[in-house]
Amino acid sequence: MPDSNAPAEALRHRFLTLEILRYNPQEAGSLPRLQSYRIEEADGMTLFIALNEIRTRQDPTLQFDFVCRAGICGSCAMMVNGRPRLACRTLTLDYPDHITLTPLPFFELIGDLSVNTGKWMRGMSERLATWLHGREETVDVTRIEERMEPEVAEAIYEMDRCVECGCCVAACGTAQMREDFVGAVGFGKIARFRLDPRDTRTDDDFYEVIGDDRGVFGCMSLLACHDVCPKNLPLQTQIAFLRRKMAMVG
């Protein structure tokens, strides 16, 4: 309950203007436009909360994605003042009172702020075969799991924290110029399985999928992917490591 003795200025919140790109490619006659919404900022407000308030109280047609609201699913990624961010992890307090929201570039647009990252992520995973390649064709589920050194398990877990939000791809200069570029999310997955002692693939095998301009040699080393990753994954280190290893194979 607010303190009745607190000065009025301390109880007052800002009013925010959210300028949002509106466009539904499925709707005949729809054209891209920026639409402004004005809301009162609340304590601890995130962009996710702000967008939900707009959709609930002002415009139920506004399209954006969310699932977990905790920075785990990666669904709410969007461009915030020109930078890829997760809406559920972005506090409005960290921004001026005018915020521009647009959908992630590169991915197929569903509508407004909603893009189909899943379609691209699945195609990338199939192309790179990002699953464990074991020594046996069949798996004995009753067998005790193989032992693994704690430091190796920690390194694998570090790369497994990727939520496939698409922020790294949206920030990538190479990806904007060529649609067939693997992108940092793909390199991260390759690095994860290269670390796994249970995976039987060699560097020659990995070279076949990332050892060209569509892979690590197409990276311009701008490393915006590293800067915008909401999970703070060591993308810079892993890309540099993979490039050195692939150069040795080539």
Q: Please tell me whether residues 165 and 244 are part of one structural domain.
A: yes
* The pairing of beta strand 98-102 with beta strand 77-80: antiparallel
The pLDDT value given to residue 250: 72
Q: How far is CA 159 from CA 60, 87, 187, 229, 238, in A?
A: 37, 22, 10, 12, 9
Q: How many domains are there within the chain?
A: 2
Q: Please tell me whether residues 24 and 136 are part of one structural domain.
A: no
Q: Coil, strand, or helix at residue 110?
A: strand
Distance CA 52, CA 91 (A): 14
Structural domain for 71, as ranges: 8-115
Output the domain CATH number for residue 30: 3.10.20.30
Tell me which residue of 220, 141, 227 sits closest to 177, measured CA to CA: 220
The pLDDT value given to residue 12: 67
- Pick the last residue of a domain from 115, 150, 173: 115
The pLDDT value given to residue 82: 97
Output the domain CATH number for residue 210: 1.10.1060.10
The pLDDT value given to residue 2: 44
Distance CA 46, CA 123 (A): 32
Q: With contact defined as beta carbons under 8 Å apart, do 235 and 226 qualify? A: yes
Q: Is residue 206 domain-resident?
A: yes
Amino acid occupying residue 236: Q
Q: Please tell me whether residues 105 and 171 are part of one structural domain.
A: no
Distance CA 103, CA 123 (A): 20
Q: Is residue 90 domain-resident?
A: yes
Tell me which residue of 88, 91, 84 sits closest to 72, measured CA to CA: 88
Q: Please tell me whether residues 106 and 24 are part of one structural domain.
A: yes
Q: Coil, strand, or helix at residue 148?
A: coil
DSSP state letters, 14-57: -EEEEEEEE--TTSTT---EEEEEEEE--TT-BHHHHHHHHHHH
Q: Is residue 47 domain-resident?
A: yes
The pLDDT value given to residue 122: 96
List Cβ neighbours of 182 (8 Å cut-off, separation of 6 or more): 124, 127, 128, 209, 210, 214, 215, 216, 218
Distance CA 190, CA 160 (A): 11
Which regions in the chain score pLDDT beneath 70? 1-12, 137
The pLDDT value given to residue 146: 81
Over residues 59-73, the pLDDT tens digits come to 999 999 999 989 999
- Pick the last residue of a domain from 91, 115, 139: 115
Q: Is residue 120 domain-resident?
A: no
The pLDDT value given to residue 5: 53
The pLDDT value given to residue 107: 96
